[in-house]
Amino acid sequence: VPELPDVEVFRRRVARSSLKQDVAEVSVHDPRMLHEVSEHDLRGFLRGRAMTATHRHGKHLLIDVEGGGVLGLHFGMTGYPVTGTGRPPEGQHVRVVIGLAGARWLALVDQRRLGRVAVAETRADHVSREALGPDALTLSVPELREAVGGARGQLKTTLTDQSRVAGLGNIYADEVLFHAGLDPRGATRDLSDHDHGRLHRQLRRVLELAIARRADPDRLPRGWLLPHREEGRRCPKGRGVVTGYRAGGRRGYWCPTCQGGGADSY
């Protein structure tokens, strides 16, 4: 499932290959991917204009379009952008293809089709329509405190709520909490100022390193939780045991020894 680091890698891929060339054609193979925009309007919005810059907010990729307006891409559970030159890709999972001048193209591939293509007047409009909280990579400590303050639920649930902090999903929320030494099942409202600081530091560190390694699980450090997400594995930090838990309907992993769990967690 694409989370913030994956989408940042997607953003760079699009920025390298798809900007500053006029859109020649827009092929929508699956209109169900379009979110509050018709195929006709999407084509009218893009055709004859160039995409000029890329941005990311949480798990959303936002592309400025010449003359005003923003194309918003969300990748759902299985989506990703593919770029190339020549014959555009075919296949049942290719949902939208944006053909560019000079035979280049940008395609959105999405097996489970939970991603979305949207159009907004400005980036701020898109962020507000999607009700996104501040971006997890760039928020400040006070913004983090403000974003999670007042949340009633468990820490893991709060951190993966895109309306509070945008960008974290199941995997990276567990990873950040593991390095911050915080119990994912703990009540968010019990976080101290010190905890907010630790959480912020690890949020930044984990996401930056994951981006630097291109969000490739095989290139992430062995000392991370990610390669050890399995009940009963030895904790990569030491004496603890990796343990499963459930939060918000998702299965997560943590180390009760490193993350301050009481004796009841064994």
Of the pair 188, 259, the CB lying nearest Zn ion is at 259
- Taking the complex as a whole, how short is the minimal distance between the CB of residue 148 and Zn ion, in angstroms? 24
Strand, helix or coil at 182?
coil
Measured CA to CA, the distance from residue 71 to residue 61 in angstroms comes to 8
CB of residue 238 vs Zn ion: minimum separation in angstroms? 5
By CB under 5 A, which span of 26-34, 134-142, 167-175, 235-243 interacts with Zn ion? 235-243
E strand intervals along the chain: 23-28, 51-57, 60-65, 70-74, 79-85, 94-100, 104-110, 116-120, 243-247, 250-254
Rounded least distance, CB 235 to Zn ion, Å: 3
| 136 belongs to the binding site for Zn ion (CB under 5 A) | no
2 has catalytic annotation: yes
The rounded distance, in Å, linking the Cα atoms of 265 and 88 is 52
Per the annotation, the verdict on 25 as an active-site residue is no
257 lies in the binding site for Zn ion (CB under 5 A): yes
DSSP 231: T
Of the residues 56, 59, 116, 164, only one is catalytic, namely 59
Q: How many residues bind Zn ion (CB under 5 A)?
A: 6
Q: Which of 169, 240 has the CB closer to Zn ion?
A: 240
Q: How many C-beta atoms surround the C-beta of residue 109 within 10 A?
A: 19
Q: Are 58 and 135 in contact (CB under 8 A)?
A: yes
- Provide φ and ψ at 230, rounded to 5°: -160, 135
Is residue 202 a contact point for Zn ion (CB under 5 A)? no
For residue 255, state whether it binds Zn ion (rule: CB under 5 A).
yes
Amino acid of residue 50: A
Kindly name the residue from 3, 8, 130, 175 that is annotated as catalytic: 3
Per rule CB under 5 A, is residue 177 in the interface with Zn ion? no
Residues 6+ apart with CB under 8 A from 59: 2, 3, 4, 7, 74, 75, 162, 166, 167, 169
Q: Which of 237, 248, 250, 265 binds Zn ion (CB under 5 A)?
A: 237
Catalytic positions, written as ranges: 2-3, 59, 250
Residues in touch with Zn ion (CB under 5 A): 235, 237, 240, 255, 257-258
